[in-house]
Structure 1
Amino acid sequence: MSLPSVPAELAVESRCALGEGPQWHVASGRLTWCDILGRRLHWLEVASGATGHHELERMVSLAAPCEDGGLLLVGEDRLSRLDPAGGLEVPLCDFEADNPRTRSNDARVDRHGSLWLSSMGKGAEPGAGRLYRLHRGELVTLRTGLTIPNALCFSPGGEFAWFTDTPTGVVMRWALDRNGWPVGDPVPWADFSATPGNPDGAVVDAEGHLWLALWGAGRVVRLDHDGRVVAEVRLPVSQPSCPAFAGADLERLYITTAREGLSAEALATEPLAGALFVAETGVTGLAEPPLRLA
């Protein structure tokens, strides 16, 4: 039986060097995403199609909506609050500020309103990355010795977290307690080490299935509760980085992509690399809570 497959279409030709961190902001009706290497925060007003961006002073990988308004920027050396209307940025706390070799990477708010976030070496140095949880304003280290942490997402009831260290090709599942803290060690859940593409960003839908970007393969795959691929979105570019559901009913799947590392010849064959894409998957997303800082 063939795999259900739908194509992704161009949403915004943002030409990101490294698009990442798509995030739906309910209050503003906007999807935001970052160009980490380009130091820009992009936005799309989904209902009207209006777009724009903010220039940033540092590399940022996520802009998470906060419970009390505004955005939390997950940056290469600090976490900071941003007022998107006035553009005022206020530092919240340092983030590996004593290590200039690293930057932030994947991040997502969990079912408890806490932020899981990660770091990696700016040159993807093996073992330089870490995984953290920002819980009510306190930053706690969860795991060290990672290379490219990705695929942070959470089950609808908060029983599990998923993540991957991209070079391993394996998506891990981690049991969580009733307060959202990890219990025991993570276990292998889905293995892509022998298939084209490397696991990158991910998001969970309303049915508790995981949508995973496969960097290098031009696909986003849907995994069922047992980690089996049951559907896919095909893109006209090779480097999808992260999916996110957006829209009034979370009915559209948006996907960030990247131009990083592509040769001039490769870019000539995929001129839309770095754009934001959208797909009609026939399923809806899972609403994510805003970040609670206190």
Structure 2
Amino acid sequence: MEDVPTSVLSDHPCHLGEGPTYDVTTDTAWWFDIGEGKLFEAHLAGRSIRVHALGRMASALARIDAERQLIVAEDGLYIRTLSDETMTPFLPLEADNPATRSNDCRVHQSGTFWIGTMGRKAEPKAGAIYALHRGKISTLFPGISIPNSICFSPDGATGYFTDTPRAVLYAVPLNPATGLPRGEPEVLLRHTGIGGLDGSVCDADGQIWNACWGASRVDVYSPQGERLRSLHVPAKQASCPAFVGPDLSRLLVTSAWQDMDASARAADPQAGCTFLLQASARGRAEPDVKLA
């Protein structure tokens, strides 16, 4: 376990911190507290942070252009206008199923958006992984309990995901031009030991950076599934990483206090905080989502 220089970006204790992303054009990081329906906005240079109440559970954000974002929420997709913060419905997704909500998501280099859903109480096989491609939503993988670790290799030819209770990270061959599967998922690695596979992101070398929920760490895997590094995170339930900073060398990591009682929270006083790790990474900028 490596102890790299680490600071607290936000000491707001997120119930379920998730979905971090970074806009390199404005030096702004974004993430969510799913359980509280909040969106966090952090301008890294000045460490100024704003909290936006969304009025609904939401878990992910993708940049459309300089003026607009696409928000993935419990009942579908919304276009958020930065100038006035309005949320305009774009497409429904499981809006007729109050038992589910959105979870892990990420944009492929082609602009296709992979979107995960799950049961609000993590009911077995209640969710799925979808693709928003050319303005339409299609189902990629049904019967998912807790979708996580959605990310893509630098060349766009491989997608990764996990169903956390299965403790398996899958690799899927993709069409790099569309971000859609051209084959079946194959097992890349099986997680053993403490914790579980949560959110992941790929770096410029194709390494997979995974937040290990329940183990206070981020693990780095090779494209062949070999664990290369483990970085300590000062909260037990690390949930998702994102590369941030002008050179994308730092790692933002969200965390959560979900399912912790009073004694567990006392033993983990930084649970729910959002951290910056000096990871010496070679990150990649997140691509914009394409709506048509």
Please classify the TM superposition score into its range, dividing by the shorter chain length.
over 0.9
Secondary structure of the structure 1 residue equivalent to 2:265:
helix
Q: C-alpha deviations, 1:30-58, integer Å up to 9, x for none? A: 10000000110001101111111110111
Q: Which amino acid aligns with 1:253?
A: L
Of 8, 26, 29, the match for 2:27:
29
Distance in 2 separating the partners of 1:33 and 1:5: 24
**Separation in 1 of the partners of 2:180 and 2:166?**
24
Task: State the one-letter code of the partner of 2:224.
Answer: D
Partner of 1:62: 60
Structure 2 contact 200–208 (Cα < 8 Å) conserved: yes
Q: Does the CA contact (< 8 Å) of 1:9 and 1:235 recur in 2?
A: no
| CA apart distance, 1:79 | 0.5
Specify the alignment match of 1:191 in structure 2.
Answer: 190
Please, which of 20, 42, 45 is the counterpart of residue 44 of structure 1? 42
Per the alignment, residue 133 of structure 2 pairs with: 135
Calculate the aligned-residue CA RMSD, in Å: 1.2
Q: Which whole-Å CA distance do the structure 1 matches of 2:144 and 2:6 have between them?
A: 31
Partner of 1:170 in structure 2?
A: 168
Distance 2:171 2:182 in 1: 11
Give the drift of 1:27: 2.9
Question: Residue type of the partner of 2:180?
Answer: W
Contact 1:72–1:79, Cα closer than 8 Å, also in 2: yes
Deviations 1:186-239, CA, capped at 9 Å, x for gaps? 0010111x2111000000111110000110011101101211111121012110
For residues 71-117 of structure 1, the C-alpha deviation after alignment (integer angstroms, 9 at most, x for no partner) is: 11100001001113311111001110111100000000001011000
> How far 1:4 moved relative to its partner?
4.9
Q: Please identify, of 161-170 and 61-70, the stretch whose mean Cα deviation from structure 2 is larger.
A: 61-70
1:70 Cα shift? 1.1
* Correspondence for 1:235: 233
Whole-angstrom CA distance in 2 between matches of 1:28 and 1:271: 31
C-alpha displacement of 1:6: 2.6
Identity, % of aligned pairs? 40
1:246 correspondence with 2:252:
no
Measure, in 1, the Cα distance between the counterparts of 2:223 and 2:147.
21
Q: Distance in 2 between matches of 1:218 and 1:161?
A: 25
- Give the aligned partner of residue 124 of structure 1: 122
1:152 and 1:162 in contact (8 A); partners too: yes
Q: 1:281/1:68 Cα in 2 relative to 1: closer, same or farther (>3 Å)?
A: closer
Q: Write the letter of the residue equivalent to 1:276.
A: T
Provide the residue aligned with 1:181 in structure 2. 180
* Matches of 2:34 and 2:201, distance apart in 1: 19
Q: CA deviation at 1:69?
A: 3.0
> Could you tell me which amino acid in structure 2 is paired with residue 184 of structure 1?
G
Q: TM-score, normalised by structure 1?
A: 0.96
Q: Runs of at least 4 residues of structure 1 off by over 3 A?
A: none
Q: Tell me if the contact between 1:5 and 1:231 (Cα under 8 Å) persists in the aligned partners.
A: no
Of stretches 229-238 and 177-186 in structure 1, the one that deviates more from structure 2 is 177-186
Which 5+ residue runs of structure 1 have no aligned equivalent?
none
